[in-house]
Amino acid sequence: MRTLDHITIHAPVDRVFAVASDVERWPEFLSHYRWVRMMERTVTGGVVDMAAWRHFGPLRYPTWWVSQMEIVPDRHLVRYRHIDGITRGMDVEWRIRQRDDRVQVWIEHLWDGPPWPLLGRLAANRVIGPVFIHHIASRTLAGVKREAERP
């Protein structure tokens, strides 16, 4: 499974990177995030426990995962490797690039799916990726944009 979400942000690249990489602040401005907790902190990231809601109209479905997070400031990258939760083994990369007077942000998710015989890859490609991951990632990008562009 591969999902790729993208947004254009009109703010300085360093501000966009700061907002995107300061995950502990996300619940302050991303209403779909239930919590983000640093379980272990390192110089370049750490282990982060994250939970979000997937909205289905007025209904909300809880999601949760734990990731090894790596922050690469000189390249404006944030990488995650999911180490717990249904998406264990997923690789996620945030790429933040200056393009003229705007910043382009991509979030790419790569994953073979859950270890379910016969159904794991199908579930990842047909449900988990497009219904859950894309929805949450696109809302996250929109919220990062709002926060980075805020005066």
- Which pLDDT score, from 0 to 100, does residue 9 have? 98
What's the rounded mean pLDDT across residues 19-34?
Answer: 98
Pairing status of strand 59-72 against strand 77-84: antiparallel
- Which pLDDT score, from 0 to 100, does residue 82 have? 98
Torsion sign across C-alpha atoms 108, 56, 20, 78: negative
Contacts of 109 (CB under 8 A, 6+ apart): 1, 2, 3, 4, 90, 91, 92, 129, 133, 137
Radius of gyration of the chain (CA): 15
Share of the chain above pLDDT 70, in %: 100
- Which pLDDT score, from 0 to 100, does residue 15 have? 97
What's the rounded mean pLDDT across residues 43-51?
Answer: 97
Give, to the nearest 10 degrees, the angle between helix 134-149 and helix 13-21: 130
- Which pLDDT score, from 0 to 100, does residue 135 have? 97
> What confidence tier does 145 reach under pLDDT thresholds 50, 70, 90?
very high
